[in-house]
Structure 1
Amino acid sequence: MRRLTVVLATGASAVALATPAMAEDSSVAAATIAAQNDSSAKASSNSAASAEEYWTPARMAEAIKAGPSDMPVQSDSSTTPRPGPSAKVDGAVPTVPSAQADIHSMSGRVFYVNDRGENRSCSGSTVNSNGKRLVFTAGHCVHGGGSGRGWFDVNRWVFVPAYHAGSPYGTWNAYQQWSKVGWTSNGNRAYDVAAVVMQPRNGVKIVDAVGGQGIQWGYGYGRFEYMFGYPADPPFNGSGLYFCNGTTRDESGFPTLDCNMTGGASGGPWLADYGATFWAYVNGVNSWMFWDPDPTHVYKWQSPYFSYDTAGSLFDTVKDM
């Protein structure tokens, strides 16, 4: 994996005057705790071709122009995950001989039709597992979150690795969407994480084709991490992979990083130990952005804390699929 050259940013102390960390183009710089811990899923019923046929290049472009992905407008954060034990699963290189895998191939744009029938976009990352079929993203990239909201159309949910008006790795179709009950039932952003089991493409599983990041949980705050995503709102246009980096801080239980990426970056990975090996460890996802005075002036993002209650138990549920 190519190590990227980065510029660290400093945030101002007052919220109204906060200076965002500037996202860098990676191509240039290289209802209880027990209930919350359950996972729920939505399975695909259509053929593998249907989603890819729906998401034409024109529709992808229109989804980018539609603005931010389904950022939730309210949430119940009255319960937070228990820290639990720390654990990790290593990443994997692709097994397809011709694959030129790196951070770009393991990151991608997500396109979907939400529960209101709108074409939208998010970001995501492949994650290694026994089944070699996982993409991790934000919960609000698969379900609206809470009462009155529903699952997004799993038959129109796709992941496009190394997206840039198309991809050398093609479009991959979802098989099952999984998220935490704390998100789907209560809109609690402490559980705003999702795992999507992908259908094989031409008989090949996605991690075997593009590689997969590792994943870890229970490692706390104060860690130097990179966050990646495909911001689509101005001043970005969704066409490239960007990143910010810094040391995570604890704000009311949520890991927080300064960054100016806009809507569409949701679901992109927070990576620990990035650059040490071919892959890194997903230790969070872009979940919640803060802006002033409007959504084009974002200055920080938060992730759900990756505990066993959130990422660990979700991973264990789907790792063999």
Structure 2
Amino acid sequence: MRLFHRFTVVLAGCVAGIGVMAGPAVAQPGGQSVDAAGLTAGNTGSAVTSAKGLSAEEYWTPARMAEAIVAGPPRVTAGSTVEQRAPRPGPRGKVEGALPTVVSPKADIHTMSGRVFFVDDHGGDHSCSGSTVNSGGKRLVFTAGHCVHGGGSGRGWFDVNRWVFVPEYHGGSPFGTWNAYQLWTKTAWIDNANRAFDVAAVVMQPKDGVRIVDAVGGQGIRWGYGYGHGVHMFGYPADPPFDGSGLYYCSGTTWNEGGFPTLGCTMTGGASGGPWLAEYGVTFWAYLDGVNSWMFWDPDPTHVYKWQSPYFSYDTAGSLFDAVKDM
């Protein structure tokens, strides 16, 4: 292990760690709505107060954030098989990223990445990762589907009243805590926990009248670009040997395993939902080309050796983005 001023090489050529030092619109009451594209928006109630009378900011104290359990679908041991589905073909598409316009001229991987905290459908406190994405509405955070809904029979939406995104997290944030307005994911994830559709978009409430992309910037997004591309994947791993306090990344060239982009990486649970970025480093933003979804480990959960993302086709990410881009 070699130590640098701000960068720690955890596994040479595989994982490099980046230490990150560090009124609102109210959703209208409603239930679930499913459109023809196979998208579901859910749990759209008041995003200001919870059943216990605490705002999301009051609920998510630094101590509670530190104790949140990482969320994720089952880890997969070496040699195991999991249900896989090849993506359906569709058109290519991409949207450019954006600089912040209001709060700060700074925009980089730190400001546009963050930790997600939420209360799941069983009442437990959990964490994931996510990233802001530019859109007409300037209010989007993309993450994994299993960070907004349990997936499959008997599971439900997570509590939108306590779903928050903390950009540039390091035991807190210079940009504060941002509250969710609506949670969106694909119906195939909700109904069957089909991990080919394990992607979600969350529409965030403005904070002090400012939209989140205007405050911290937003990544671009693209879909339909295939496999074999160089990507950087980012996240806030929180299971040992990590502790959730810093932003880490892996980089490499993806390969196709059963229709899923795959990359070698040792990040552990808590990184779920973090961005896979194509063309990272070319400018201040890159293209979201996947999200951390499924990890494989051997011989125990502290020894993760690769991750997979849903394939970003129009069937998955493109239709989801189109459904929420102007909110």
Q: Is TM-score (shorter-chain normalized) higher than 0.5?
A: yes
Distance 2:84 2:302 in 1: 29
Q: Which of 309-318 and 47-56 deviates more?
A: 47-56
Q: Which of 96-105 and 171-180 deviates more?
A: 96-105
Provide, for residues 276-299 of structure 1, a one-character-per-residue CA deviation record: whole Å limited to 9, x for no partner. Answer: 011000000000000001111000
- Measure how far apart 1:97 and its partner are: 5.0
Provide, for residues 174-204 of structure 1, a one-character-per-residue CA deviation record: whole Å limited to 9, x for no partner. Answer: 0000000010111000000000000000000
- Matched with 2:66 is 61
Match among 19, 27, 36 for residue 19 of structure 2: 27
Distance 2:229 2:107 in 1: 25
Mapped pair 1:187 → 2:193: yes
Runs of 4 or more consecutive aligned structure 1 residues displaced over 6 Å after TM superposition: 4-10, 73-76
- Measure how far apart 1:99 and its partner are: 4.2
Within 5 Å, give how 1:95-174 maps onto structure 2.
Answer: 95-174=101-180
- Measure how far apart 1:22 and its partner are: 4.0
Q: Which letter maps to 1:27?
A: G
On the 8 A contact 1:76/1:186 being kept in 2, the answer is: no
Q: What is the root-mean-square deviation in Å for CA atoms of aligned residues?
A: 2.4
Q: 3-state DSSP class of the match of 1:277?
A: coil
Distance 1:78 1:97, change over 3 A: closer
Match among 271, 281, 290 for residue 275 of structure 1: 281
Distance 1:22 1:246, change over 3 A: closer
Q: Which of 94-103 and 69-78 deviates more?
A: 69-78
On the 8 A contact 1:8/1:246 being kept in 2, the answer is: no
On the 8 A contact 1:142/1:151 being kept in 2, the answer is: yes
Distance 1:218 1:59, change over 3 A: same
Q: Which letter maps to 1:62?
A: E
On the 8 A contact 2:9/2:15 being kept in 1, the answer is: no
- Matched with 1:14 is none
Distance 1:312 1:98 in 2: 29
Mapped pair 1:252 → 2:258: yes
Distance 2:105 2:211 in 1: 13
Distance 1:302 1:150, change over 3 A: same
- Matched with 1:17 is none
Q: Which letter maps to 2:19?
A: S
Provide, for residues 94-142 of structure 1, a one-character-per-residue CA deviation record: whole Å limited to 9, x for no partner. Answer: 0025342210000000000011111000000000000000000000000
Q: Which letter maps to 1:93?
A: L
- Matched with 1:71 is 73
- Measure how far apart 1:267 and its partner are: 0.1
Distance 2:159 2:198 in 1: 18
Distance 1:6 1:216, change over 3 A: farther
- Measure how far apart 1:216 and its partner are: 0.1
Distance 2:64 2:119 in 1: 11
Distance 1:97 1:139, change over 3 A: closer
Distance 2:47 2:119 in 1: 15
Mapped pair 1:264 → 2:264: no
Q: TM-score, normalised by structure 2?
A: 0.86
Distance 2:8 2:86 in 1: 33
Match among 44, 50, 55 for residue 50 of structure 1: 55
Query: Which one has the bigger strand percentage?
Result: 2
Aligned residues: 300
On the 8 A contact 1:8/1:245 being kept in 2, the answer is: no
Q: Which letter maps to 1:70?
A: G
- Measure how far apart 1:72 and its partner are: 4.2
- Measure how far apart 1:46 and its partner are: 3.6
Q: Which letter maps to 2:40?
A: S
- Matched with 1:40 is 40
- Measure how far apart 1:24 and its partner are: 1.4
Unaligned runs of 5+ in 1: 11-20, 29-33
- Matched with 2:26 is none
Match among 227, 237, 241 for residue 233 of structure 2: 227
Q: 3-state DSSP class of the match of 1:227?
A: strand
What is the percentage of aligned positions where both structures have the same residue? 71
